[in-house]
Amino acid sequence: MRLISSLVLAGLLLQVYSQSDAVTSSGTTETTEPATSTGADYATSGTTYADESATLTITATTDYATVADLSSLFATSNSTSASSSTGPNNGTTTSSATETVLVGTSKTTTTLNGTTTTNQTASSTSSSAQPTNTVPCNGHPSFCNRKFSNITHIAAHNSPFIRPGNLASNQMLDVETQLNDGIRMLQFQAHLQNGTMYLCHTSCELLNAGTLQDYLTTVTKWLRNHPYDVIAILMGNYDVVAPQNFTAPVVNSGLIDFVYTPPTSPMPLDSWPTLAEMIFKNERAVVMLDYQANQTAIPWLLDEFSQMWETPFSPTDRNFPCTPQRPPNQGRNTRQDRMYMTNHNLNLEVDIAGISIDVPFFTLLNETNAVNGFGSAGWAVDNCTTMWNRAPNFLLVDYYNIGNFNGSVFQVAADANGVSYNRASCCGTAGTTNAAVTATVDVRRYLLVAGVLCSFLIL
């Protein structure tokens, strides 16, 4: 079986490269024969969408009325604060105007076996005066008083899939580096194998990045060390299994200490809290599931499509139309009152031996993740903003570190958010140039087949 898989994978690789060389500057291919099946990167059968005719009220939620006047604690200064070894990203904060100490209070949660855990984080303040905030929430002080639904975040498509030499990889840098660089949504698909949730791309034989629990443990460690950051985690339920399969990894990893529970489902735009509110209540992880979520049973596991909609997933069209795909049959007025995600990960759809898969379009990464130009991230955000009168909440990308300069996708988000971006802050290992990273990907592109064939010979 592994022998056959290796041969199929080698064939897929050869087809990818022959197709990528046939692409013209307009984004169309000279090959007109369509693929025989969809390369969708999500479940395509057995899926349903929530009925939005009624609103589910969730009682297990934070009462922000009990929190102090956050607007006075987090002022609206637009200045940014550079992080350092003693800066806010490392858990300490000072203000030149007045000394402000962010004090942690415990948040108690119940685990699956009935025991409780507590976590210390910033949830109240002690100050002798009303200071001007210099603590950056998600990198910017001005974000603290902005609602979670009023910020454009960069999302890593298939965040865990970083294995060098594997066709199914979508990122180059590990999840901790992704978060350090500014990724604020982690997206991936999970598969149930022998009672355990694994992070696999399409098939666990193609790419298995380990267990969901191990991955979330790393994310949780990062959250504990960065108390002023809010992230989203979007899990793809590829096998359309019961949502209870996702609870143990969240609880056992410790992420349960940080999950956000909304007051209702669906959540209109104005219902979302500000980043400051989420930070003060230590509810800094918005965890979503694309299919089968049941917020009556698991209030913190959000039903994705009750909270937001998406443009076409795994797109192969360089025009990146900002038209809704999922959920279908939703009125424009409803969509205008929901968050939305622009899928901006350009793919090639390949089909061989009955296996269909979408793979990243390596040779156009510099243009796809660029600030401007046809098919660029900036171009797509501008189109979406024009069409919907507001920028997307999430911009989903492959190989986020590659663009027309290091981390150009973060410049796109900064422009949409009306803030500055320090281009020297990205990406990964200090001193790595965009040209070197691009060359690495380009070389990898031609070595993948050799790697697969070597593994075939070893078998």
What is the distance between the alpha carbons of residues 32 and 60, in angstroms, rounded to a whole number? Answer: 54
Say if CB 214 and CB 174 are below 8 A apart. no
**Block residue for tokens 């002080």:** 141
What is the distance between the alpha carbons of residues 38 and 129, in angstroms, rounded to a whole number? Answer: 60
Q: What H or E segment, with its residue span, contains residue 275?
A: helix 275-280
SS3 content of the chain, % helix, strand, coil (to 5): 30, 20, 45
CA 295 to chain CA centroid, Å, is: 21
Catalytic residue of the set 140, 157, 226, 344: 157
Say if CB 106 and CB 119 are below 8 A apart. yes
Q: In degrees, to the nearest 5, what angle opens at C-alpha 446 toward C-alphas 440 and 452? A: 110
Show the tokens assigned to 334.
Answer: 């409803």
Say if CB 427 and CB 181 are below 8 A apart. yes
153 a catalytic residue:
no
Cis peptide before 204 (omega within 30 of 0): no
Show the tokens assigned to 427.
Answer: 């990406």
What is the distance between the alpha carbons of residues 275 and 299, in angstroms, rounded to a whole number? Answer: 20
Say if CB 267 and CB 252 are below 8 A apart. no
344 a catalytic residue:
no
Catalytic residue of the set 140, 153, 191, 201: 201
What is the distance between the alpha carbons of residues 368 and 390, in angstroms, rounded to a whole number? Answer: 21
Cα-Cα-Cα-Cα dihedral sign, residues 360, 339, 234, 282 = positive
Cα-Cα-Cα-Cα dihedral sign, residues 321, 376, 137, 141 = negative
Beta strand ranges found along 353-426 (DSSP E): 355-360, 394-397
CA 330 to chain CA centroid, Å, is: 23
Say if CB 35 and CB 349 are below 8 A apart. yes
Say if CB 257 and CB 282 are below 8 A apart. yes
Say if CB 198 and CB 153 are below 8 A apart. no
Say if CB 175 and CB 231 are below 8 A apart. no
Say if CB 198 and CB 212 are below 8 A apart. yes
Q: Assign residue 375 a region (left: φ > 0; alpha: ψ between -120 and 50; beta: otherwise).
A: left
Show the tokens assigned to 12.
Answer: 């897929």
| Active site (catalytic) residues | 157, 201
